[in-house]
Amino acid sequence: MIEAKDNATGRALLFDIDGTLANTDPLHLKAFNEVLGPHGHVFDHARFSRELQGFANVSIGERFLPDEAPERRALILDEKEEVFRALVAGQIEPLPGLMALLDRADAAGVPMVAVTNAPRLNAELLLSGLGITHRFKGLVIGDELPHGKPHPLPYQEGLRFVGARPETSVAFEDSRTGVQSATAAGIPTIGIRTSLGHADLIAAGAVASASAFDDPDLLAPLAAAMAW
């Protein structure tokens, strides 16, 4: 169980990883097609964003590999993650403005937490590849909890880890399931438009959307929310 930390201001920034810190979704799409294609499932970008993006592997296996035993599903999806990690190695670039935002949060004493449905190996690889592992006070893995996204539990755990309140925090997400998870936890959520458009992110519950972390439409409201 994660122990809550003291946080006098109650503020925090909570980030999804894939598609939010770095635009890795095209590589996930390629890996899914390589591994699930032989099982009769081929995805384009639109289908990926509807049916795969942001979902935990357990639910993906149940949906697309229903005739396989659970152990076999897990092996197939582990293979997908191995393919993804091979594809992403050496190709991890932060979204524009990310590093400046992390610097500003650190300077203001606002703790940051990463919250993801990705397997731990993937999450740690991406954070390490971006050189930002040390920036985050916690890493919440949805698959390691009783419920992953879109359930609010992953974000509730992220808040508890740094002793933050939902109403004075901000979450960043790029998927429907992620936005639903963060908003269900009561956190104002900004959608990052790496895969989905503004309308889809708002429909999922985001209060605003931005193209990246240097988007002028993001910076002013974020500064106001964080009291910077």
Give catalytic residue positions: 16, 18
Compute CA distances 143 → 8, 16, 109, 195, whole Å.
Answer: 30, 14, 29, 22
- Nearest C-alpha neighbor of 60 from the set 121, 48, 178: 48
Please name the residues in contact with 213: beta carbons below 8 A apart, sequence gap of 6 or more. Answer: 95, 96, 97, 98, 100, 101, 172, 192
Report the 10 Å Cβ neighbour count for 87: 16
Q: What are the beta bridge partners of residue 170? A: 13
- Nearest C-alpha neighbor of 111 from the set 3, 221, 6, 219: 6
Ramachandran angles phi, psi of 141, nearest 5°: -110, 115
Q: Which amino acid is at 54?
A: G
